[in-house]
Amino acid sequence: MSLKTETTLSYKRIFISILLLILIPVTANLVDRFVDQYDISLMFSFNILASILIMYDWNLFFIHFDRSRKSIIDTLLFVFIGFMLITLWTYLGTRYLRIDPVVPPTSVLVAYGYARPGMLIAYSVMSAASFGICFKCLTDHINVHNKEFQSILLSGLLYGLVYTLIFTSWQPILLARAYLFYAILTIIFAYLYNQTHSIIPGIISLSIVYLLIMVMPLL
């Protein structure tokens, strides 16, 4: 069901959207000077800046939501496929690459119970929404509906690099492992987008996986 679309996002919008993504860890580090608990600081930053990002790109987000709503069967199918692929890759990445997703450890969720709802929302829905919106913005000028394999691969390599540099400590070996993890995660996301013409299935899939990673140890 590949569809060819025209680029609609201005370079200004792309730049501001990526800047908001960059500001998430930057703001978390600033807040952490006062809070002295990075996971809570990052929770605050995700919830605030991802909300701003969604509002700033609301037209984009709503267009993709509307596409998914109108193709609900395809959306549910690829949410399931995305969930399975992301779960498998997250397991392999955690076990063999030793790269943990950006979620708080169970000990933090237990120790700071008052902040748990905010952390669950921040590290699942807000994290996935910011990932998906900025993926679309950064790769908007790449035609992912023509020469599909090459475009999906290029999207993964490009956005995977950007996300790695934003959310990973700049240590060469760690960066290399994280880049492989996020590049393939983005390739999965790009595949879901290519098949549904919407970022919503990828956002939902990623949200569910991250939410289960946090919730399962608590049960």
Domain residue ranges of the chain, discontinuous segments joined by +: 11-218
Cα–chain center distance at 26: 17
> pLDDT tens digits, residue range 144-186?
455 788 889 999 999 999 999 999 999 999 999 999 999 999 9
d(CA 16, CA 134): 10
d(CA 99, CA 91): 10
Residues 6+ apart with CB under 8 A from 144: 151, 152, 155, 190, 193, 194
Q: If you ran DSSP here, which 8-state letter would residue 104 be given?
A: -
pTM: 0.93
Give Cα separations from 115 to 100, 109, 155 (angstroms). Answer: 21, 8, 35
Number of alpha carbons in the 13 Å side-chain half-sphere of residue 189: 32
Question: Which among 185, 202, 191, 214 has a CA at the least distance from the CA of 93?
Answer: 185
Q: If you ran DSSP here, which 8-state letter would residue 198 be given?
A: -
Q: What is the pLDDT of residue 8?
A: 73
pLDDT band with cut points at 50, 70 and 90 for residue 52: very high
Lowest-confidence pick of 3-17, 55-69, 90-104, 188-202: 3-17
Question: Which among 161, 199, 173 has a CA at the least distance from the CA of 54?
Answer: 199
Q: Does residue 47 register a pLDDT over 60?
A: yes
Mean pLDDT, the chain, integer: 93
Q: Read off the pLDDT of each residue in 121-136 and give the average, rounded to a whole number.
A: 98
Question: Which among 116, 99, 97 has a CA at the least distance from the CA of 108?
Answer: 116
